[in-house]
């Protein structure tokens, strides 16, 4: 296949590297950063730049840029996309993106499905991308009434070749509701936690817990601001839930209520066991 990748940051760059390392597909890529384009060509992550001339020959188009930019790119380039092509956006929110791109795809006649690779790092950019980023990860797809089994089989084979453990199917609504908890809330908590003045004085007093809590505070504020605002309703609800639980702990501490604090900690430990994860 001819695979076009729009955006060669952490997600798009890792896609490009993985495709070239694990498949025989041709990769065309585009990024606004000229240095990124040079590095991608020199390291073999792309075979050539994605251009107005070769876009119509793309069989699969992966859009790996921010939601607003993704929508605008599709809107501008839809006339050049072949009716036989499949377009997958890789944005971290799905409702706003799918609602905007799906009608364009239907009007123009090409296949489209929302996607979100559940993999990442605290640092972004092409230099952080890696060909093994997606090994063992889940690839979320949001099929709709236009999605047929042949498209899903094509994408399943493609993503499994890149090392994904499997596909997870969801609706845009369900995706955004769950991702508000599993990803976005964690970034806000990490960002807020590291603002304590003690964070600047902790050297010699911290180990794994501090590292775990602050790792994703190294975020891209431009990207995450857009993601948070696109998911404001679900994310606000999760913040309210968390604030309620934190208030319970604070109240138990202020009251020196040993049993209440013990019960809160025990409940958290038991819920962690059923929630799973590392």
The 3-state DSSP class for residue 232 equals helix
Per-chain mean pLDDT for the chain: 95
Residue 277 clears pLDDT 80, i.e. is over it: no
Q: Please say whether the beta carbons of 88 and 63 come within 8 A.
A: yes
Closest CA to 101 of 37, 6, 229: 6
CATH topology match: 2-170 vs 174-275: no
> What average pLDDT score do residues 232-260 get?
98
Non-local CB neighbours of 174 within 8 Å, separated by 6+ positions: none
Predicted pLDDT of residue 46 = 98
The architecture CATH gives domain 2-170:
3-Layer(aba) Sandwich (3.40)
Is-above-0.95 flag for pTM? no
pLDDT surpasses 80 at 206: no
pLDDT at 54 over 80: yes
Based on the number of CB atoms within 10 Å of its own CB, is 89 exposed (0-12), middle (13-18) or buried (19 or more)? buried
**In the predicted model, is pLDDT for residue 60 greater than 70?**
yes
Tokens of 254: 């202020």
Quick one: pLDDT band at residue 278, thresholds 50, 70, 90?
low
Q: How far is it, in rounded angstroms, from Cα 160 to Cα 21?
A: 13
pLDDT tens digits, 175-205: 999 999 999 999 999 999 999 998 888 777 8
Tell me which architecture the domain covering 174-275 has in CATH: Orthogonal Bundle (1.10)
Closest CA to 20 of 50, 41, 6: 41
pLDDT at 207 exceeding the cut of 90:
no
pLDDT band at 10 (very low <50, low <70, confident <90, very high): very high
Domain assignments of the chain as residue spans, ordered by start = 2-170, 174-275
């Amino acid at each position: 296949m001819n695979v076009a990748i729009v955006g060669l940051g952490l997600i798009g760059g890792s896609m490009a590297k993985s495709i070239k390392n694990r498949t025989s597909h041709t990769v065309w890529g585009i990024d606004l950063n000229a240095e990124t384009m040079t590095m991608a060509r020199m390291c073999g992550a792309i075979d050539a730049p994605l251009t107005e001339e070769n876009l119509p020959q793309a069989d699969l188009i992966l859009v790996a840029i921010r939601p607003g930019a993704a929508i605008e790119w599709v809107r501008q380039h839809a006339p050049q996309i072949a009716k036989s092509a499949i377009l997958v956006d890789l944005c971290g929110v799905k409702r706003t993106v799918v609602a905007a791109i799906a009608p364009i795809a239907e009007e123009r006649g090409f296949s489209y499905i929302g996607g979100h690779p559940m993999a990442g790092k605290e640092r972004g950019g092409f230099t952080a991308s890696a060909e093994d980023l997606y090994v063992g990860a889940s690839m979320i797809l949001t099929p709709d009434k236009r999605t047929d089994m042949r498209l899903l089989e094509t994408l399943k084979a493609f993503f499994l070749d890149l090392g994904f453990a499997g596909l997870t199917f969801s609706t845009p609504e369900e995706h955004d509701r769950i991702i508000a908890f599993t990803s976005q809330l964690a970034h806000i908590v990490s960002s807020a936690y590291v603002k304590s003045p003690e964070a600047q004085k902790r050297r010699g007093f911290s180990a794994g817990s501090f590292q775990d809590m602050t790792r994703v505070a190294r975020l891209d504020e431009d990207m995450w601001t857009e993601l948070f605002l696109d998911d404001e309703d679900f994310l606000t609800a999760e913040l309210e839930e968390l604030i309620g639980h934190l208030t319970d702990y604070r109240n138990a501490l202020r009251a020196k209520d040993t049993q209440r604090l013990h019960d809160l900690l025990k409940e958290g430990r038991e819920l962690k066991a059923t929630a799973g994860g590392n």
